[in-house]
Amino acid sequence: MLSRKTTLAAAGAVLLLAACGGGDDDHEVVSPPPPPPPAPTAVPDSAVASSTALVSYLKAQKTDDETTEALTLPTVAVSVSETEEPQTL
């Protein structure tokens, strides 16, 4: 008789615990954040408006990153000024 009561109590505890754990909504699947946008590889048209703008744009680029793609220049030629001094990179 004691083992029958113990078995019924254990079975009741198992059923009670199984019933309590089924409706938990705290574990919703959260989607990961979107990946960052790719780094631009084309030089903007505003950077080739003058040689000063192009030099400023190139100096602002990271120089220690060897994993990014090479920059591509637009098909327009960089405007040249007869009065500006040559600039160093």
pLDDT digit string (tens) for 29-69? 778 888 877 667 778 888 888 888 888 888 888 777 777 77
Q: 54, 47 in Cβ contact below 8 A?
A: yes
**Sequence-ordered list of residues with C-beta below 8 angstroms from that of 39, at least 6 positions apart, any chain:** 68, 69
Asked if residue 83 has pLDDT above 70, the reply is yes
CA 41, distance to chain mean position in Å, is 17
* pTM (2 d.p.): 0.45
